Amino acid sequence: RLRELGPAGFTLGGCYLSVKAGRLQVCRDWGAIGAAVPVRPGMRLLWDRRFLLEIPASPDSEAGFTIARLGERGIRSLGRDPDGPAPETGDAIPIAARKALPALWQGERLAGVPHLGFGPPVAARFRPLNPVTSSGFTVAY
């Protein structure tokens, strides 16, 4: 089925599978991510069972913020190349993976995307509740 659909891809079990440049991409299905979560200053939370987030304790973080998926609306709000490199690493993050990133929202306004270097300094670390391996792995260069 992937060969037939190519870059169009499909969802399966909370994942989005596609083929790009002959490679299989498996990303979180951004449509399967739950509702927005209200946040408070100084709060720590595990969002979408994948990201450990730390909300800054600054006074401007008290203005009705929520954490939710970036999604298509957030991609449009950024107003830049959605497939371009992430500012903090220079790595290209596939558009399907970007849509599933945690984003800080204030009502309907996109206020920040920690992984893309946009908005207030929210710490966001990938710490999945159910990692692929139980003991981790080493990457050698």
Region at 116 (left for phi over 0; alpha for psi -120 to 50; beta for the rest): alpha
Per-residue pLDDT reduced to its tens digit, 32-53: 999 999 998 889 999 999 999 9
Region at 48 (left for phi over 0; alpha for psi -120 to 50; beta for the rest): left
| Residue 19 DSSP label | E
Per-residue pLDDT reduced to its tens digit, 15-24: 888 888 788 8
Per-residue pLDDT reduced to its tens digit, 54-89: 988 875 555 689 999 999 999 999 876 555 555 555
Please tell me whether the overall predicted TM-score, pTM, comes out greater than 0.95 for this model: no
